[in-house]
Amino acid sequence: MWFKKSIQEVIQELDTDSINGITSKEAKIRIEKYGQNKLAEKKKKSILILLFEQINDVLIYILLAAAVVSALLNEISDAIIIGIVIILNAVIGLIQESKAEKALESLKKLSVPKALVKRDGRIIEISSEDVVLGDIVILDAGKYVPCDLRLIESANLKIEESALTGESVPSEKYAEDTLKEDDVALGDQRNMAFMSTLVTYGRGVGVVVAVGMDTEIGKIAKMLHDDSKNLTPLQEKLAQLGKMLGFVVLIICILMFAVAVIQKRDLFEMFLTAISLAVAAIPEGLPAMVTIVLAVGVQRMIKKNAIVRKLPAIETLGSVNIICSDKTGTLTQNKMTVTKFYADDTLDNILKLDANNFIHKRLIENMVLCNDATYSEDSQTGDPTEIALLELGFKFNIFKDSESKEHIRVNEIPFDSDRKLMTTLNEYGDKYHVITKGAVDNLIKICSYIYLGGHVVDFTEELKSKVIKASDSMSKDALRVLATAVKIEDSSDIKIDSMESELIFVGLVGMIDPPRENVKKSIEECKNSGIRTVMITGDHKNTAYAIAKELGIAEDSSQVILGAEFDRMLEDEVVDKIDNLRVFARVSPEHKVRIVKSLKEKGNIVSMTGDGVNDAPSLKAADIGVAMGITGTDVAKGASDMILTDDNFSTIVEAVKEGRNIYNNIRKSITFLLSCNIGEIIALFIGIILGWPAVLRPIHLLWVNLITDSLPALALGVDPDDPDIMKEKPRDQKEGLFSGRNGAFLVGNGILIGIITLFAFYIGIKIYPNSVTHAQTMSFVVLSISQLIYTLSIRHNKKSIFEIGVFTNKYLIGAIILGIILQNIVITVPFLASVFKVFTLTPNDWMFVILLSLIPLIINEIAKIIYNKIERK
């Protein structure tokens, strides 16, 4: 903890010289001992490893086994079709995820290429990678800090640390401070400067105390490197489904052989039948269907200003019940803005400021002229607080002397951290105005008069108390308050010592980093949808609470906690209190990760949004990390699952809607495919138990699963959005894919499809007792067409097909028509009929199978009416 040590202790411990620096020879020794000042690179994954990750799935393994067995049994066409499905799934996934993890590379790019150091008694410029422990580094405004430093000199030094700490206002640095506490947050370590932060004001000198992976940035890199890959809820459920199906396939094969022995059937024939049932149990098109639906969802998300980096992550937003959001740049604009003023005994909103009022104009002029920043619509440089004051002046056409050539600055007293004041002397025609701005308490002490009612009056204790009351009122709203005063002189020949005395108090301005537009509305919509918003920020407690209260995130100060306080909490305390906490202030990157993990351990699905380097580990630890595309650092983008191209919190709400709809669509498709497969299993298994010939051939099952089922399943995957989706609460992550009505739909329709398929075979055998092929053809057609028509009712488990609109999904209508046409071609084209071993049906046969195929649709629609009536009661 270098911030706890005095300057002399640091210099002695690192064996350096604050005047001359270390020698070049010593620098070479240290660079060999400690390594270069750069971040370690993560080993990139090869294409083969990435490809293996795509096929490393239980369902894929079962499909591979089925393909091998089919090839050994000389069913080459079956093996080829299964192989195509596997390749398609792997290629689509590989295209989406082929970009290797870029977080560490981005962190490396943040390092500054050059640094000014003292070596051999001289100041030289070297590559930042060659900076070593004990080097004496020179800091100036506009320069990035090349490594972690313990400051040994500082002069009005301010450093922008928002990317690391999340604090929007630059931190003032004081080399002389020695902090004694153990748990000082990064943003409060006033005697330290950290790698990749930016010097915005003043100058400083520091001794290098950490380089490369040992810096605060390096620690973040390690956290990114160490964090394991999280599975999304859908991935976990599909993995469980794959294991279940594998178990089902094994049981089916064992039962088939048992039946063969009992019924004294031909074992080879029963082996083929067992393979048929295995094929029926596995939804061959499921992996490809899920991947394609997610890929289509990615394209839809891009149109809504959200880029999804990893395919499975798209559904995760639909199930989140907590959004952890960074404050600076995410909920707020990351731009200091003047929002209130006090002048002429009036405290009001900045919109009431009137440039025609002499005192109001004087207030604006003072803030603009006593200012070292620069501002234009295209570019701004300097301290964000001073830029905010120039922006205020710009709105009233009041500019600095360098721009207007009026009120030229002829002398100044620079800002000093002890005085907390800055003073300039400006030309005003034949007069000269001494303008001072700074901290309220300090400025009041040097004021003898005040502008009131257009006149200069004595600054009495009563008037001073009014000013302090106005300042306190602004501070309670977490505004940063600055005061200003003026003194009019006849000559520029005025002594420095007498400039800051006998001043006329003008007024106050209060500023804050304001919330983004529409954020409050989005947070309210999230709340109504059962989604809790939690603010995590590096800002001070009061500032964070004021913003959170304004946005509707927090209602009471008890819902706010400091990062250090949270860090000291025991696990039992965290479990008890974390559900009530809404704001975490003054947090470090480690705190953010613990917060996210603690929320996840409580059974929540957590999204984390952020833009800074300090957000990267928590973005990676969350179920889904969301980075800002405009203000976001490359590190945050690299660690995220999704990037918002418009940096708008409101886009998250649209992403949630899209995620929920995509998940529902995938669930519809999976329910459809599995219910169809259950129907196939029931038809085959019961047929064998009854001693019938095979109700369906293996090639019939493969045709239905890969062709007839796949097209409607894909069409269900792109079903139009449900307008009522945000009226639902987030899904419980423990909720299965088939909980509630979905399970009833799945099993009930599977049984129904199996029964009507068996009935078609039974009628076929009765009508054509000498033609098993004719009966198999009837069951084949009923199985495929009933499944096609049944898709119309599975689009919604509560609304009827007329409520959602029969033709609102044109892709589905097209898939049904195409499926029926393809089915007809298979049984009517002689060459295909011989391959599939089917019989041409008569018109009466067609009439019968179509009526039979309508039964699942009709029964489903009746069931919805009954279900809805029961629920309403």
Looking at the structure, do residues 740 and 809 belong to the same domain, yes or no?
yes
Structure confidence at residue 861 (pLDDT): 93
Both tokens of residue 590? 């480690």
Q: What is the pLDDT of residues 150-184, one digit of tens each?
A: 999 998 899 988 767 777 678 889 988 788 787 78
CATH code, domain with 12: 2.70.150.10
Say which residue, 581 or 383, is predicted with more confidence: 581
Q: Apex CA 809: angle with CA 804 and CA 815, to 5°?
A: 135
Is 536 within the bounds of a domain?
yes
The total domain count for the chain is 4
Q: Is residue 98 part of a domain?
A: no
Q: Does the structure show a pLDDT above 70 at 78?
A: no
Name the domain boundary from 510, 543, 573: 510
Same domain for 354 and 211: no
The rounded distance, in Å, linking the Cα atoms of 481 and 479 is 6
Q: Which of 130, 227, 326, 539 is catalytic?
A: 326
156 located within any domain: yes
Active site residue 326: yes
Alpha-carbon dihedral sign for residues 754, 758, 764, 770: positive
10 Å Cβ neighbour count for 414? 14
Separation between Cα atoms, residue 268 and residue 702, nearest integer Å: 20
Per the structure block, which two tokens stand in for 262?
Answer: 């009992």
Does residue 640 sit in the same domain as residue 730? no
Identify the burial level of 569 via C-beta atoms within 10 angstroms of its C-beta, where 0-12 means exposed, 13-18 middle and 19 or more buried: middle
Lowest-pLDDT choice from 85-94, 242-251, 773-782: 85-94
Tell me, yes or no, whether 327 and 344 share the same domain: no
Q: Backbone phi, then psi, for 813, in 5-degree steps? A: -60, -45
113: pLDDT strictly greater than 70: no
Q: Do 474 and 575 lie in a common domain? A: no
Average confidence (pLDDT) over 610-630 = 82
> Do the domain assignments include residue 298?
no
Q: Region 64-81: what's the mean pLDDT? A: 72
**pLDDT mean over 367-392:** 88
- End residue of a domain, out of 480, 510, 540: 510
CA 268 remoteness from chain centre: 55
Task: Give the model's confidence band at 858: pLDDT under 50 very low, under 70 low, under 90 confident, else very high.
Answer: very high
Name the strand (E) or helix (H) holding 681. helix 649-689
- Which pLDDT band holds residue 41 (cuts at 50, 70, 90)? low
Question: Which of 474, 495, 510 represents a domain boundary (last residue)?
Answer: 510
Q: Residue 225's pLDDT band (boundaries 50, 70, 90)?
A: low
Task: Indicate whether 352 belongs to any domain.
Answer: yes
| Same domain flag for 27 and 123 | yes
Among 274-283, 473-482, 618-627, the minimum mean pLDDT is found in 274-283
Assess whether pLDDT exceeds 70 at residue 501.
Answer: yes
CA gyration radius for the chain? 36
pLDDT tens digits, 635-693:
677 778 888 888 777 788 888 888 888 888 888 888 898 888 889 889 988 988 888 88
Q: What are phi and psi of 337, to 5 degrees?
A: -140, 135
Domain that holds residue 742: 280-288+658-872
**pLDDT range class, residue 112, cuts 50, 70, 90:** very low
From the list 624, 618, 737, 610, the residue with the least C-alpha distance to 675 is 737
| pLDDT reported for residue 860 | 92
How many other C-beta atoms lie within 10 A of the C-beta of residue 229?
8
What's the mean pLDDT when you consider all of the chain? 85
The CATH number that applies at residue 320 is 3.40.50.1000
Q: Do residue 735 and residue 820 come from a single domain?
A: yes
The answer to whether residue 101 scores a pLDDT higher than 60 is no
- The fraction of the chain above a pLDDT of 70, given in percent, is 87
Cβ(298)–Cβ(99) under 8 Å?
no
Same domain, 460 and 574: no
Q: What percent of the chain has pLDDT over 90?
A: 39
pLDDT for residue 775 is more than 50: yes
- Whether residue 713 is found in the same domain as residue 815: yes
pTM above 0.85, yes or no: no
Q: Could you tell me if 471 and 589 lie in one domain?
A: no
Residue 871, pLDDT above cutoff 90:
no
Residue-level pLDDT at 89: 62
Confidence class for position 264, pLDDT limits 50, 70, 90: confident
Tell me the pLDDT band of 100, cut-offs 50, 70 and 90: very low
The lowest-confidence range among 305-314, 598-607, 731-740, 863-872 is 731-740
Of 20-24, 54-58, 220-224, 643-647, where does mean pLDDT reach its minimum? 54-58
- Whether the pLDDT of residue 103 is over 50: the answer is no
- Residue 841 reports pLDDT greater than 80: yes
Q: Based on the domain organization, do 792 and 673 belong to the same domain?
A: yes
Tokens 């480690």 sit at which residue?
590
Q: What is the pLDDT of residues 794-839, one digit of tens each?
A: 998 888 999 999 899 999 999 999 999 999 999 999 988 988 889 8
* Higher pLDDT among residues 856 and 95, named by residue: 856
Residues 324 and 406 in one domain: no
Indicate which CATH number applies to the domain containing 504.
3.40.1110.10
Residue 275 covered by a domain: no
Residue 57 counted as domain residue: no
Q: Is the pLDDT of residue 36 over 70?
A: yes
Residue 310 in any domain: the answer is no
Counting other chains too, the contacts that 186-189 makes at CB distance below 8 Å and 24 or more residues apart are 186/161, 186/216, 186/538, 186/588, 187/161, 187/538, 187/586, 188/586, 189/3
What are the tokens at 638? 């690299």
Residues shown for the chain: 873
